[in-house]
Structure 1
Amino acid sequence: MRHADGRAISVLVVDDEPAIAELISVALRYEGWEVTTAGDGFSAVVQARQTRPDVAVVDLMLPDMSGLEVLAKLRRQYPDLPVLLLTAKDAVEDRIAGLSAGGDDYVTKPFSVEEVVLRLRGLLRRTGIAEAESGAQVIVGDLVLDEDSHEVWRAGEPIELTATEFELLRFLMRNPRRVLSKAQILDRVWSYDFGGRSNIVELYVSYLRKKIDSGREPMIHTLRGAGYVLKPTS
């Protein structure tokens, strides 16, 4: 999804748990959105003033103020800002309080990142901020991926990929120059941890390398102990 004029969607993610904020951020960057994060309410208000986000994800439990206070402050800045609330509380009164305070939707922890993305897409459509893209292509250097036709080319030459290889490549291409850990890749591409079998990532990266990099300057790089990164060739 993008703005009608082609600009990327801007998202503010507010959560004091770095692992959760990073997980959501990676998933949203995968969608091609620009993400800013904040670990407390004060930082969230400052970031919102600087970036003017299109939509915000706000945890209700923050170290310096409640998520509802953050919601109120954000709404004073931008009255029409769509806000998705994250809560560890499943009581009906907590959900009602969040929605009554002006939250547009909520997700209860623990949640899947796919659910967060789907809820945000729904908010953006309902508020008219963005519409779904059609014919979207992702381009990194001489590598082109068509998300609709599931076709891939490198330097104009078509490359045949399996469905899993395609999803892995799309995740890497949606996050160019960004180091992605095996855990992040497992969560996004396979949606679960394979019982800790991170070697499945190594296996599929090796498959991709044979198809993408074989006989060419490599684009897929391994950072030992950190993960993988896709970079355009010079």
Structure 2
Amino acid sequence: MGEATILVIEDDSAVRRGVVDALEFAGYRTLEAGDGDSGMELALQGTYGLLLLDLVLPGRDGFSILEELKRRRAGQPVIILSARGEENDRVRGLELGADDYVMKPFSVRELLARVEAVLRRTCERVAPEEKRAVPGGEVDFSDGRVSFQDGAEESLSEREAELLRYLLEAKGRVVSRDEILRHVWGLDPARTETRTLDMHIMHLRSKLRDKAQEFLVTVRGKGWKVLS
């Protein structure tokens, strides 16, 4: 299960170096932070597949990072790494959305097994539906086509289809520009200046007959969402 990028937020430099080295030796790419403030910034803005998160950090603690991730990057896989073994901490971490909780000290073999298990579960989550209802018709993602009840059809580009699917899978949640650039375009928002997203939104609205923005809604200053 190599090739995924893993973010490690851990203040103990020796532990962090050991984890990063083990991950890179196993074929993963890594990002790292040694405190809660820089860790929060990377967690929210970085492009990665899994977060390994210590709970006790200078600045923001791991719980506050996890809470903010749940709010702004719903579904982000997280494994907590902590010496805090109290049941309440474990339960709180899992309730806040962590996928696993690994107690320190841990072996490299155990850590890599947990990482692979979480990444595998993420990849094996239920596949999205190929056909979804839209106002006045249906979109078929298998061939990138919108069919309307009056018999008319519109073809979607691959990126338009990916964008629409991502917004539909958010189930009414407001999705930010940064999130879309990370997960649909695969770009780092901090290093990207582009209006292509706005153009794709405009094209989608036209093809969905939604010029009044009653389905694909702009939430000013926050992003976009679709209304069911």
Please give the TM-score of this superposition, normalised by the length of structure 1.
0.49
Q: Which one has a bigger Cα radius of gyration?
A: 2
Please give the TM-score of this superposition, normalised by the length of structure 2.
0.50
